[in-house]
Amino acid sequence: MSKEFTRHGGPWDRGSADAYYDRPFQPHYFKGDTYNSEKVERAQMTEGEIAAYTDGYGDQDEIKEW
């Protein structure tokens, strides 16, 4: 998987974070720093980006305990 997908704020990273924080499956990513750059929603994502988000979501086997 490319570094672009796995970087902080990228699709894989966001999927993994959503799963860890027990948030719903909602593909997205950020063009730069998370929450400090433009957010790309599912409708604007490529199939590869959605697949990277899905992989990140599915690869996360821990959930944050509050």
**Would you kindly state where each structural domain of the chain is located, as residue ranges?**
3-59
| Interatomic CA distance for residues 56 and 25, integer angstroms | 11
| Interatomic CA distance for residues 13 and 16, integer angstroms | 5
What radius of gyration, in Å, describes the C-alpha atoms of the chain?
11
- Read off the pTM: 0.91
pLDDT in tens, 4-49: 667 999 999 999 999 999 999 999 999 998 999 999 999 999 999 9
Return the bridge partners of 61, or none: none
Q: For position 51, what pLDDT does the model report?
A: 96
Query: Given a cut of 70, is residue 63 above it in pLDDT?
Result: yes
CA 47 to chain CA centroid, nearest Å: 13
Note whether 45 and 11 are within 8 A (CB).
yes
